[in-house]
Amino acid sequence: MVSTPIPAVLQARLERRSARRRYAEWSTTLNETFDHLYVAEGRDESVALLDLAANLTERLAELHTAAWGREDDAGGRSMAESLTSQAALLRQVAATERAVIGTITWPDCTTPLGCEHTAELRLWTVLAHTSAPGKRAVYLNRLRALAAEHLGERASEVLAVLAEVEEHRATGTTRRAARPQNMLPRVLIGAVLALIALVAIVPGLDGLGRVVLLVAVLAAAYVALCVYVGVRGRSQEVGR
């Protein structure tokens, strides 16, 4: 028996749908990882979370073009490139935290004057020798501005998120206000249930009319949910 090959267009569509589904799943896990950073108990836990965030970001970088296309920024960098740079920055920050807790040694900066990115390299060294959360937040924000000059705003934005984490730690607060999760699906489900109830009591419709109206309501809800999943999966702001 000869199997019928799947048309190339359909195959590409199925692969893109699969890529977007995995992208959304990994994005959700990445968001949760950043949330855990806010309440991490100690630098060692923070390092582990930063490593996990870097790994997840690398996965998103590998998958992004297949799921959403290049999506170049103003400097011509694809989103995959920006995500790869984000992962590298996350690993760099993790390294500074390892230096703070003494698991690695970070030598004093000896970069000669005139070397490319001298100010940035020196600031990384300062960060690696700084444990106070408030000061680390200041340095991370400065590094974000410097990194943006050669990596782009999209890539460097992750440093602003980590600066916010340090600012939160500086307050001494052990809890963070919960970020709303899946709010749209909940609202959507409630609206669909309400519309179904209305369909049942709308006067002047026969059985077929009610069925047609019900199908239209469910189809609209499905489209709205698909749009939400796509947009949420593409979000790189980790909900902050």
Domain of 71 in residue numbering reads as 9-170
Q: Which of 228 and 200 is assigned the larger pLDDT?
A: 200
pLDDT at 152: 94
Q: Are residues 166 and 218 in the same domain?
A: no
Tell me whether residue 222 is in a domain: yes
**Is the model's pLDDT at 213 over the cut of 90?**
no
Q: What are the tens digits of pLDDT across the range 93-126?
A: 999 999 999 999 988 765 555 667 788 999 999 9
Residue 239 has pLDDT above 50, yes or no: no
Q: What is the pLDDT of residue 80?
A: 94
Q: Do 164 and 65 share a structural domain? A: yes
The whole-number pLDDT of residue 13 equals: 85
> Does a structural domain hold residue 3?
no
Residues 144 and 220 in one domain: no
Q: Is residue 38 part of a domain?
A: yes
Query: What DSSP line would sit under the chain, residue for residue?
Result: -PPPPPPHHHHHHHHHHHHHHHHHHHHHHHHHHHHHHHT-SSHHHHHHHHHHHHHHHHHHHHHHHHHH-----TTS--HHHHHHHHHHHHHHHHHHHHHHHTSS--PPP-PPTT-TTHHHHHHHHHHHT---HHHHHHHHHHHHHHHHHHH-HHHHHHHHHHHHHHHHHHTT----PPPP-SHHHHHHHHHHHHHHHHHHH-TT--HHHHHHHHHHHHHHHHHHHHHHHHHHHH--STT-
Whether residue 64 is found in the same domain as residue 126: yes
Q: Does residue 119 sit in the same domain as residue 77?
A: yes
pLDDT tens digits, one per residue of 117-171: 788 999 999 999 999 999 999 999 999 999 999 999 999 999 999 999 999 999 8
Confirm whether 4 is domain-assigned.
Answer: no
Task: Give the count of domains, the chain.
Answer: 2
- Among 119, 141, 170, where does a domain finish? 170
Model confidence, pTM: 0.71
128 and 58 in a common domain: yes
